[in-house]
Structure 1
Amino acid sequence: MKQSHFFAHLSRMKLINRWPLMRNVRTENVSEHSLQVAMVAHALAAIKNRKFGGQLNAERISLLAMYHDASEVLTGDLPTPVKYFNSQIAQEYKAIEKIAQQKLVDMAPDELRDIFAPLIDENAWSEEEQAIVKQADALCAYLKCLEELSAGNNEFGLAKTRLEKTLELRRSQEMDYFMAVFVPSFHLSLDEISQDSPL
């Protein structure tokens, strides 16, 4: 059997730190972020299905979210101010991401490639799937800002404001539900979120 470097590359997601230009109280890596995005995307899809008449495959969406930044094992995590400095850079970086996604897919064994390709290649995602993953991605970045600000790190103040605008642009019924039901707890301490459910 031919050797594959696919999972050896994916395991390096934990070595790529997010928010590299900002002082962090707690460093977050791409692996941690991807898990949180997968959980939130699953929740958004489930909320849409249960409350707002959606017909999404929540489990598939959680997998797409889990792999949504996988190409960064080849490109690294480019800081947002650089990535979106101007439209030309944003466009070129998108092209680089596509090449990296394809290179990663090509690392998978031939007999498994058709399983991983639709998870990594965003061209295989429906518009609705892309929208949910993008919502979850922005929500998780926003939650990171709340955590940093709660820890007294004002470095994340402007990022929070920017992400509030992004969330408004991506707004949906399921996001409104998530923001109303789950997000307020991120402003509370461990003792406060544990009061109603003592061990």
Structure 2
Amino acid sequence: METSHFFANMSRLKLIFRWPLMRTITPENVQEHSHQVATVAHMLAVIKNKKFGGDLNPEHVAVVALYHDASEVLTGDLPSPIKYHNDEIARAYKKIENIAEQQLIAMLPEEFREDFLPLIDHHEISPEIRDIVKAADVICGYIKTIEEISAGNHEFEKAKKNIEQTMKKYQSEELKYFMDVFLPSFTLNLDEISQPL
């Protein structure tokens, strides 16, 4: 039986820290970020189905979100100002990400590769699911800026404005619903969010 390094690599996502050029009050690694994105993406899919006539599988969306940054275990987390500096760099980085995705899939025993291809390879994920996961990713970045600013870190004020602009690209009914219903709590303290409704 062959040995697979896939999950040993996935485990190292906890060693890759996000916001590498920013001073953060609470460090955030890619593994915990992926968990948060998965929970938000799951809820966005549920909202879309229940409120706006969608027909998504929320559990599948959540698993895609869990793996959405898997390639960063090989590439690291390139800061957004560099990654999106211009279209040429953005396209080149997408190619690098896809090569890393293919490398990760190749680490799996062959009989399981087709199961992971539609979870990890961005080219194999439907545009609708990609958009939901990206919207969740952006929401989680926005939440991070709220948390950092609330803790007195003004370095995240510009990032918050940039993410607000990015959010416009992924504007949808389910995103707006999530923002209206769930986001206000992130500005409250523990006593305030622990109160019964």
TM-score range, shorter chain: over 0.9
Aligned residue number for residue 107 of structure 1: 107
Question: Which structure 2 residues correspond to residues 50-199 of structure 1 after superposition, within 5 A?
Answer: 50-196=50-196
The separation in 2 between residues aligned to 1:133 and 1:151, in whole angstroms, is 27
One-letter code aligned to 1:119:
L
Cα distance, 1:116 vs structure 2: 1.2
SS in 1 for 2:18: coil
Q: Which moved more, 1:184-193 or 1:81-90?
A: 81-90
> Could you list the per-position Cα deviations for residues 102-145 of structure 1 after superposition, in whole angstroms to 9, with x for gaps in the alignment?
00000001111111111100111111001100100000000000
What is the Cα deviation at residue 84 of structure 1?
1.0
1: CA distance, partners of 2:79 / 2:133:
19
Distance in 1, Cα, partners of 2:34 & 2:136: 10
Query: Which AA in structure 1 matches 2:131?
Result: A
Q: CA RMSD in A?
A: 0.8
1:25 is the counterpart of 2:25: yes
Q: State how far apart, in whole Å, the 2-side matches of 1:100 and 1:159 are.
A: 27
How far apart are residue 168 of structure 1 and its match?
A: 1.7
Unaligned runs of 5+ in 2: none
Tell me the distance in 2 between the aligned counterparts of 1:84 and 1:2: 39
Offset at 1:68?
0.3
Alpha-carbon distance in structure 1 between the residues aligned to 2:91 and 2:110: 30
Cα separation, 1, equivalents of 2:9 and 2:22: 26
For 2:87, the aligned partner's letter is S
Residue aligned with 1:100, SS: helix
Q: Which stretch shows the higher mean deviation, 162-171 or 94-103?
A: 162-171
Letter paired with 2:114: D
- Could you tell me how far apart the structure 2 residues matched to 1:39 and 1:111 are? 28
- The offset of 1:46, in angstroms, is 0.2
Q: Secondary structure at the match of 2:97?
A: helix
Query: What is the CA distance between 1:50 and its match in structure 2?
Result: 0.2
TM-score for both structures, normalised by structure 1: 0.97
Post-superposition offset of 1:178: 0.3
* Consecutive aligned runs of 4 or more in structure 1 exceeding 6 Å deviation: none
SS in 1 for 2:110: coil
Aligned residues: 197
How far apart in 1 are the matches of 2:110 and 2:125?
21
